[in-house]
Amino acid sequence: MIPIDPIAYLSQYLRDHCDETISLDDMARITGYSAYHLQRKFKAALGVSPKQFQARCRMERMKSALRHNQPVTTALYEAGFGSASRLYERVDSDLGMTPAQYKARGKGIEISYVILGTVLGKILIAATDRGLCSLQLADRESELRAALQLEFPAAQLTETLAPFVSPLKDWQEAIEAFVAGKTLAAGLPMDIRATAFQATVWQYLQTIPAGETRSYAEVAAGIGHPTATRAVARACASNPVALAIPCHRVIRNNGELGGYRWGLNRKQRLLELEARDTDTRPASP
């Protein structure tokens, strides 16, 4: 029997069976689509291929096991990684640090940060050698330092003075350009960790053009989970990198702002800035 919503059904099936090897032909039989159409519909809905989605779910399960103090070897095999080498192939792209470091909550990781004064208040930009790991907004520098310490309690945190080096320098220049009215540069490296669902939501948010908004329901529908509006809201609230992942562009169905981790006044200011910059931007020839 073909499910009412084949893509939503398959995504849940892959999440529940992430420790198994499921062929594209098997997925096609589950959904009733041809393999070709399944690939296209799944990626259109979730932004990743079925194989990539299952890999993220596998990594999510392993992270959960590590957070519950399972040994690394046990966690990786129970999550469905056939060998340690298969896991470490995905460390940079999916975990950002080694499993042992993740389990230790960043112990041994060096994080450099800088605090900027802008029209949006104080902005903290923090990066590892792999990319941006935290971008926070606040009224006071002390709030930002405390938040970073809470986020990475076991990491070595170093406040950096100019001249900066990459990737911190790249993000500092990108954020300063953004608050000056320019489009935030795309493609700069980030070192953030996410569940499969969070990653799907955050990837979708980055497709919302500056000057536009989407409702939580529209985001949920856009990623193929139309009933997951609350989960979308939670994913927005857990976004660790303001501006880089523009969760401020998501509002309630009735047009109200909804929540914002860094304050509703700041969310309103961001939307006003982006709307103004869009209105004054010259039209394409």
In angstroms and rounded to an integer, the radius of gyration of the C-alpha atoms of the chain is 20
Q: How far is CA 263 from its chain centroid?
A: 19
Cα gap 144→135, rounded to integer Å:
9
Q: Is 176 helix (H, G, I), strand (E, B) or coil?
A: helix
Give the residue among 133, 173, 138 at the shortest CA–CA distance from 157.
133
Cα gap 231→203, rounded to integer Å:
15
Strands (E), the chain: 110-118, 121-128, 131-138, 156-159, 214-215, 250-251
Show the DSSP H helices in 68-213 as ranges. 72-78, 84-88, 99-103, 141-151, 168-179, 196-205
Give the residue among 95, 100, 62, 104 at the shortest CA–CA distance from 81.
62
> Which member of 18, 57, 236, 247 is catalytic?
247
Sheet holding 110-118, edge to edge: 131-138, 121-128, 110-118, 156-159
Tell me whether residue 247 is one of the annotated catalytic residues. yes
Identify whether the C-beta of residue 200 lies closer than 8 Å to the C-beta of residue 46: yes
Identify whether the C-beta of residue 18 lies closer than 8 Å to the C-beta of residue 54: yes
Return the active site residues. 247
